[in-house]
Amino acid sequence: AQKVTQTQTSISVMEKTTVTMDCVYETQDSSYFLFWYKQTASGEIVFLIRQDSYKKENATVGHYSLNFQKPKSSIGLIITATQIEDSAVYFCAMREGAQGGRALIFGTGTTVSVSP
Amino acid sequence: DAGVTQTPRHEVAEKGQTIILKCEPVSGHNDLFWYRQTKIQGLELLSYFRSKSLMEDGGAFKDRFKAEMLNSSFSTLKIQPTEPKDSAVYLCASSLRSSQNTLYFGAGTRLSVL
């Protein structure tokens, strides 16, 4: 059975610093995709970044990057040079299979608070 | 392009009532998902459709929850009968077919059951 676990409930950081969030997953599939989503205070959920299981290189988009450690079934999110607007809830998610047919499963989220 | 549209944005129901939530996915998307979001449980899968076929449903939600794809561009989630523990935000999302494609979320329907 697939499962996604985020153990950090909340993190507080100062603006312009780096924040790291943890996520571990469980899957029996050899092919899967890992995602991070952000939910803002307004409730809007937006996609941030994706890691394909078959890729060794860590994905990077803007000031978001991933720390993919496949042997540990771990996919951490790193936000560098944080801004006040990065305050949000961050969800890790996984989808099994290359062709789809399986739903996206989410972790419980990590709340990040960025202070000036 | 229009995103995922959910109506209503807010719903208040008395215990025992039947409520129907609606969702219009992004045009051209094959996959449609319904999730329930609460602070304690986070985002829980209710149903997943591909091109109108039910692919997965959340085991804990089979009893009083029924989602349907009436056509490729319209889905409903019926809760019958409602209970106070159903108070939550119900989210609809859609995506293109392949697993690497991101989900696009609607703004959600906030349900309060009294």
Residue of B nearest to A100 (CA): B99
CB contact under 8 A, A35 and B98: no
CA angle (B53, B57, B58) in 5-degree steps? 170
CB contact under 8 A, B99 and A44: no
Distances (CA, A) of A111 to A9, A49, A116, B42: 6, 17, 17, 12
Q: In whole angstroms, how large is the CA radius of gyration of chain B?
A: 13
**Burial (Cβ within 10 Å: 0-12, 13-18, ≥19) of residue A88:** buried
Q: What is the pLDDT of residues B10-56, one digit of tens each?
A: 999 999 999 999 999 999 998 999 999 998 889 999 999 998 899 98
In this structure, which amino acid lies at residue B99?
S
The H-or-E segment that residue B47 falls in is: strand B42-50
Structure token pair of residue A92: 């890790």
CB contact under 8 A, B105 and A45: yes
Q: What is the pLDDT of residues A29-87, one digit of tens each?
A: 989 999 999 999 999 999 999 999 999 999 999 999 999 999 999 999 999 999 999 99
pLDDT at B97: 82
Q: What is the pLDDT of residues B63-108, one digit of tens each?
A: 899 999 988 899 999 999 999 999 999 999 999 887 778 899 999 9
Would you say A78 and A64 are in contact if contact means Cβ atoms under 8 Å apart?
yes
Would you say B8 and B112 are in contact if contact means Cβ atoms under 8 Å apart?
no
Would you say A11 and A21 are in contact if contact means Cβ atoms under 8 Å apart?
yes
The pairing of strands A19-21 and B31-38 is unpaired
**Whether B55 contacts chain A with CB within 8 A:** yes
**Whether A104 contacts chain B with CB within 8 A:** yes
Cβ atoms within 10 A of the Cβ of A97, count?
15
